[in-house]
Amino acid sequence: MLQVSVLKDHTAAVLAGLAKRNYSTAEADVQAILGLDQRRKELQTAHDQAQAEANELARQIGGLMKAGNKAEAETLKARTAELKQSTKAHAEELGEVEKELQQTLYKLPNLPHSSVPAGRSAEDNEVVREVGTKPELPATAKPHWELIEQYDIIDFALGNKIAGAGFPVYKGQGARLQRALINFFLDEARAAGYTEIQPPILVNEASGYGTGQLPDKEGQMYHATADDLYLIPTAEVPITNLYRDEIIAPAQLPIRNTGYTPCFRREAGSWGAHVRGLNRLHQFDKVEIVQITQPEHSYAALDDMVTHIESLLQKLELPYRVLRLCGGDMGFTSALTYDLEVWSAAQQRWLEVSSASNFETYQANRLKLRSRTEGGKTQLLHTLNGSALALPRIVAALLENNQTPEGIPLPEVLHSYCGFKQIG
């Protein structure tokens, strides 16, 4: 959530940033927020003045009653009653204004970093670098959805039977490959200095608001209405919310956590060949890395996260590229996002397997996540997260890129984790 002080003191820069995001009602929303903030201040001042006057009159009434001046005391009591009604009215309107101000602030996305390119869609994203050689497959090469049937390692029909479309059943070597990848990613994260967390996979509404999934992505989250809990779309949500309403000592920074969870996304409106097989699921496994840093260190931390994710793809021997997302393709809460995509040789296209983002103070302001400066004041921290990695498209690329008539050999780094060297 953007800070009102930033909107007030840097209005032109805010409007320019929102324009880079193609946010069409930026000027009207910003002016509405500034107007609501001004009204909030006026109401708070009027409330405080009336309360102070009432307190002073109460002191005077006590003295008048002791002096036997009952008539004047009754006059002041009448004025106190008026002030009581006034403060009550101010408090009620103040609550309404503060709620409207908060909801309007929730509508504004984060401001993009200066390095974010302008653009409206994925076609406008900037390719930062491309690493590795794309494998050349014969004309008889199969896409992963045919390979998983051939080797009987993932069953979409069974998943559809027990849950619905987008909930696959992994079995045999498919299930073992899933577990191998999860353990490999977690071990690599721990070796890089991340502390492993096993968080809940259901969160309350406050957690959804804290990291920005609510109200922006409410329609994409599974909601257990009886308990008002949400199935997580990513481990970022519970892991970052561990620090909601906390003041972190500088000596504890940076905080570096990792966690494996299943992830749940309704993906409403997704269909077509580009989401076939493992390309788009309602439930999938992912290892997440999360950092909380002081503001001056956050972009170095983001570069470090991208380097870590790249190291995983290199060890998996997958060709990949790094993209800097344009203003129109970035997530709602992000200030700068790098997407990492692997090459799918059978599908002849790039598949996104990770996003690494710096949210600057946007989440921290919602979370009230702060640290103390040397002068004793509090400052908002910066939060970051990245997928390291999401499994489905990694599995798709491993199957497609490595297929041979004799089976599907796996990269050497996975042999000890899987207990086998190839599928089939």
SS3 call for 49: helix
The verdict on 130 and 240 lying in the same domain is yes
The verdict on 270 and 342 lying in the same domain is yes
**pLDDT one-digit tens code per residue, 363-414:** 999 999 999 988 889 999 999 999 999 999 999 999 999 999 999 999 999 9
> At residue 275, does pLDDT exceed 90?
no
pLDDT for position 225: 96
Indicate the residue type of 371: S
Last residue of a domain, one of 66, 84, 107: 107
| Mean pLDDT across the chain | 95
The verdict on 136 and 92 lying in the same domain is no
> What residues act catalytically?
265, 280, 352, 355, 393
The verdict on 132 and 241 lying in the same domain is yes
Last residue of a domain, one of 56, 80, 107: 107
Here the tokens at position 394 are 């990694």
The verdict on 296 and 379 lying in the same domain is yes
Strand order in the sheet with 223-224: 202-204, 229-231, 223-224
The verdict on 92 and 168 lying in the same domain is no
Q: Would you place residue 59 in the very low, low, confident or very high pLDDT band (cuts 50, 70, 90)? A: confident
Q: Would you place residue 95 in the very low, low, confident or very high pLDDT band (cuts 50, 70, 90)? A: very high
What's the CA gap between 280 and 390, in Å, rounded?
11
The verdict on 91 and 216 lying in the same domain is no
Is 112 part of any domain?
A: no
> At residue 273, does pLDDT exceed 70?
no
Token pair 């690494």: residue = 356
The verdict on 167 and 249 lying in the same domain is yes
The verdict on 184 and 315 lying in the same domain is yes
Is 308 part of any domain?
A: yes
DSSP string, 346-396: TTTEEEEEEEEEE-TTHHHHHHT-EEE-TTS-EEE-EEEEEEEEEHHHHHH
Average pLDDT of the residues in 142-156: 98
The verdict on 311 and 406 lying in the same domain is yes
Is 323 part of any domain?
A: yes
Percent of the chain's residues with pLDDT above 70? 98
pLDDT for position 218: 81
- Choose the weakest-confidence range: 79-83, 257-261, 322-326, 339-343: 79-83
Q: Would you place residue 58 in the very low, low, confident or very high pLDDT band (cuts 50, 70, 90)? A: confident
pLDDT for position 269: 53
CB atoms closer than 10 angstroms to residue 202: 15
> At residue 348, does pLDDT exceed 90?
yes
The verdict on 319 and 205 lying in the same domain is yes
Domain of residue 161: give its range: 122-423
Last residue of a domain, one of 78, 107, 136: 107
CATH code for the domain in which residue 406 is found: 3.30.930.10
CATH code for the domain in which residue 53 is found: 1.10.287.40
**pLDDT one-digit tens code per residue, 121-142:** 999 999 999 999 999 999 999 9
What's the number of domains the chain is made of?
A: 2
> Quick check: 172 and 180 in contact, CB under 8 A?
no
pTM of the predicted model, to two decimals? 0.93
> At residue 68, does pLDDT exceed 90?
no
> At residue 274, does pLDDT exceed 80?
no
Pairing label, strands 223-224, 154-155: unpaired
The verdict on 139 and 75 lying in the same domain is no
